[in-house]
Amino acid sequence: MRKSGPPKGLISYLVLELLDERPRYGYELLGEITEISGGHWEPSYGSVYPILYKFEEEGVAERVERADEPDRKYFALTDAGREELAEKRRAIGGEAKDFGDVVLGFYHLYAALATDGRFEVDGADADWAFSERYSAWIVEQMIRHHERDFGEFERIDASPEEFYAREDGAAADGAEPDSSETEPADDAEEPSSGAADD
């Protein structure tokens, strides 16, 4: 269980990866990160540009002049930047469980706001609501994205404690996690609020 908020350093890691692919300018990076998130994140100038300027000061990135776009500030990764990226890849690679905890934590909060009588949020004028219908839509999108990237979705019949114990044991043995206890998932109804599939 995470003791604080989302994993640190995620935006700077994404910026490094994108600059490693090719030189980019700030607004382009904002659009790329938004696209990577399926349109669910929209990082601000205040989150990306300070990273670029910090990278420049530290020699991790450098400005690149382009004759066809003289007024646009492109940044490219330096050799020091590629070393920094290798370290970030190792760090992010070890945070998969933290990422999962963030996703699950937000979803559990979403469901609690819909069902727990201690919370009385007023969503009467909102396009979205904390409700069973929208909860089902969120889960449906997760399943669709899983199937797009990994293949057919199979349910895992395990409590969090059982799943973590199983994963820890598999990691210690160097074996693949056991996915034999599965059953097909039911389709969830998509809300008619005009929200588009990602």
Q: What is the mean pLDDT of each run of 10 residues along the chain (198 residues)?
A: 58 95 94 88 84 96 89 94 96 89 92 94 83 94 95 92 82 57 44 42
Residue 137 buriedness (CB in 10 A; 0-12 / 13-18 / 19+): buried
Which two structure tokens, joined as six digits, stand for 193? 């609020």
What pLDDT is stored for residue 186 in this prediction? 46
Give this prediction's pTM.
0.75
Is residue 189 in some structural domain?
Answer: no
**Residue 73 exposure: Cα atoms within 13 Å on the Cβ side:** 10
Looking at the fold, whether 18 and 85 belong to one and the same domain comes out as yes
Instruction: Give the length of the chain.
Output: 198
61-64, strands of its sheet edge to edge: 24-25, 74-77, 61-64
What pLDDT is stored for residue 1 in this prediction? 47
Domain span holding position 52: 10-93
What pLDDT is stored for residue 7 in this prediction? 57
- As for how many domains the chain has, the answer is 2
* Domain-terminating residue out of 93, 121, 143: 93
Looking at the fold, whether 118 and 168 belong to one and the same domain comes out as yes
What pLDDT is stored for residue 40 in this prediction? 83
